[in-house]
Amino acid sequence: MRARRTPLVHYLVALILGLMGGAGISELGMSTRTDLMGVPWLVSVLLFLLGVAILIMAFQVHRYAKGDRKEMDLRFAVNVLIMSKALGIACAALLGWYGSQALISMGHAGAPYYTRVMQECLVASLVCLIDVVAGAVGEWLCQLPPDDGPENPDRRKSSRRPMADAADTADRAKIKTDSSKRHG
């Protein structure tokens, strides 16, 4: 299996979905006069700490990939890669969510409630932007250098055995006869 970098379009889709969700919640909160907007300060702090922790773990994987670290549980390396990808995508969606709430609150900045919501959401948006970058950097740090393992394309070509080719040819002939029997 080959891990691939998260395409930029995934971040964009998450951001757009977050924008739509945040705008929808903001409009619903305004029309029903309920307190649905904003974000507790604790969430921003925890998101920031999560980004830092994932970056530290990704740096450990990078040290292992460079050879500066002798041993590492490969499950740890894979889990850090998955967490980096998840952090980037989730925080892109949250960036849209909190960003749209901040933008909508700016139109009502004279009211104390909307001023507080705007401040909370701007701080959360900044933290989410930092975490999107941290997720992308963490994903890059988790790249392992190419080796001569079984997934190396050059090794696959050179290790092809004649017996495997003969078995593939026999399988293809059997499939061809089976399909001709069904059609005939």
What mean pLDDT is predicted for residues 11-20? 93
In DSSP notation, the chain reads: ----PPPHHHHHHHHHHHHHHHHHHHHHHHHHT-------HHHHHHHHHHHHHHHHHHHHHHHHHHTSSS---HHHHHHHHHHHHHHHHHHHHHHHHHHHHHHHHHTTTTSHHHHHHHHHHHHHHHHHHHHHHHHHHHHHHTPPPP-SSTT-HHHHHHT--HHHHHHHHHHHHHHHHHHHHHH-
Closest CA to 86 of 42, 139, 33, 40: 139
pLDDT of residue 28: 87
Say yes or no to pLDDT of 44 above 90: yes
- Report d(CA 171, CA 101) in Å as an integer: 60
In angstroms, the CA 138 to CA 77 distance is 11
Query: Does the pLDDT at position 146 exceed 70?
Result: no
pLDDT band at 1 (very low <50, low <70, confident <90, very high): very low
Structure tokens at 17: 């979905």
pLDDT, the chain, mean: 83
Higher-pLDDT residue of 74 and 177 is: 74
Helices 74-106 and 41-66 pack at an angle, to 10 degrees, of 150
pLDDT in tens, 160-178: 544 455 555 656 666 666 6
